[in-house]
Amino acid sequence: MKAIPVEDSFDLHSFRPQDVASVVEEYLSQALEAGYREVRLIHGKGIGVRRAEVRRLLRADRRVCRFFDAPPERGGHGATIVLLGAAEPPTAGA
């Protein structure tokens, strides 16, 4: 697997579809560890398959507070802005 650069923006174009889930997981972990609270995932416009996969992953990730399309000057619907927060520890008895 390629090394994941820790910057505020991450381009997923060079990764194989089957690697996207693990790459996004690792990138978000490293971004949080580096102190980022907002990052941009670039998935491209295409027919929307990668965008849908990325958003499915984000919906399931407790570290993600919110996500939305990037503004036009930052990629529009070809990129997703992700707002991060530290994962809360599980509640006792949950």
Q: Over the stretch 64-77, which tens digit does the pLDDT of each residue have? A: 999 999 999 999 99
Domains, the chain: 9-84 (3.30.1370.110)
What pLDDT is recorded for position 94?
A: 43
- In tens, the pLDDT along 32-66 reads 999 999 999 999 998 889 999 999 999 999 999 99
Pick the range with the lowest mean pLDDT from 24-28, 48-52, 86-90: 86-90
What pLDDT is recorded for position 91?
A: 47
Q: Which long-range contacts (CB under 8 A, 24 or more apart) does 84-90 make?
A: 84/28, 84/31, 84/32, 84/36, 84/37, 84/38, 84/39, 85/37, 86/32, 87/62, 87/63, 88/62
Residues 6+ apart with CB under 8 A from 83: 37, 38, 64, 65, 66, 67
Q: Is 21 helix (H, G, I), strand (E, B) or coil?
A: helix
Using the predicted structure, report yes or no on whether residue 13 has a pLDDT greater than 50: yes
